[in-house]
Amino acid sequence: MGEKGFIDRVRIWVEGGHGGDGCISFRREKYVPRGGPDGGNGGDGGDVILEVDPNLNTLIDYVFKRHFKAGRGAHGKGKNQTGRKGEDIILKVPPGTLVYEDGKLLGELLTPGDRLVVARGGKGGRGNAAFRSSTNQAPRVAEKGQPGEKKSLILELKLLADIGLVGYPNAGKSTLLRRLTDARPKVAAYPFTTLTPILGTLIGTNRHIVIADIPGIIDGAHMGKGLGIEFLRHIERTRLLLYVLDITQDPVNQFTALQDELREYNPLLLQKPYIIAINKIDLVPDYDTLKEQFPKAHFISALKGIGIDELRATIMRLFDA
């Protein structure tokens, strides 16, 4: 988890509603001398359901309230009246939420409107009318409602973004995000400015392109050092990686080290397509040698706006194709 309410992993407890009891009842009507059993069934308990809300990007709602129980089914009544079903509970989650129980993935919630039933309500008990038979015309038995499912769940958020910005602290990722998109992260000239992932939107010709600024990775991030390990999972869902390298801090070694960290966390990350942006060229008068080492890289100054139009054009070309 991070500051300003960004929460990407929580544990919650959910319970489906208890089923209603069946009813024992017999018809007692005037002029009906032999009224039979007419006890209705109990209603089923309500379900606990997770549903994607595209307006959310954090799981903070589940920090302060973690226990959720659906409504109980109503008991059956005479005249074969079935009890009403218990009320469902619908819990809103952001796109990209994964649901785990005991380490097993129960499901993924990716697009607006996606739903997942995580705790089913108990079945309602049968009333005595359901037990009538040719050999038992007046059963005096009914079932109790069944309890709902009880589960302890882990909700884990992986942000859904098209592009993930990857780089060391103070490489200029936040400044670059401001240049490329409508995001307005705070920036400052010291490491670890970004403590939470920040999303911005680049308006393309055919679609909007979502870019995520992932907190700066440091050596050993895959082992839990620094801030990056908390957010490496968010890189997994991006379609493309944008490496942001600081030209004043040996970009060759930075690129190699960043790829090593991603490989240690998840080797599949290195199979993603990527763009390299070497930042802060306004601070270095001569970088011809680096151009030879990174022939396809974009040399930019996010602070001064140098090379940003060309980088933006490359991104739009890749996503608008």
> Which pLDDT tens digit goes with each residue over 228-267?
455 677 788 888 999 999 999 999 999 999 998 888 888 9
Query: How big is the chain by its Cα radius of gyration, in Å?
Result: 29
User: What local confidence, expressed as pLDDT, does residue 224 receive?
Assistant: 45
Hey, is 174 helix, strand or coil? helix
The per-residue pLDDT of the chain, averaged, comes to 86
Other C-beta atoms lying within 10 Å of the C-beta of residue 202: 20
Residue that has been written with the tokens 């780089």 in this structure: 167
CA–CA–CA angle 238, 240, 243 (5° rounding): 110
In order of start, what are the domains of the chain with their CATH numbers?
A: 1-157 (2.70.210.12), 163-320 (3.40.50.300)
Cα separation values, 196 from 7, 263, 284, 285, Å? 9, 22, 30, 33
pLDDT-derived band at 159 (thresholds 50, 70, 90) equals confident
pLDDT at 306 over 90: yes
For the whole model, what pTM was predicted?
Answer: 0.71
pLDDT at 192 over 50: no
Cα–Cα dist 143/38, whole Å: 14
Greatest mean pLDDT range, 76-85, 130-139, 226-235: 76-85
At CB < 8 A and 24+ separation, what contacts does 180-189 make?
A: 180/211, 180/308, 180/311, 180/312, 180/315, 181/211, 183/211, 183/213, 185/213
Average pLDDT over residues 27-38: 74
pLDDT-derived band at 198 (thresholds 50, 70, 90) equals confident
pLDDT at 118 over 60: yes
pLDDT-derived band at 218 (thresholds 50, 70, 90) equals low
Cα–Cα dist 295/292, whole Å: 5
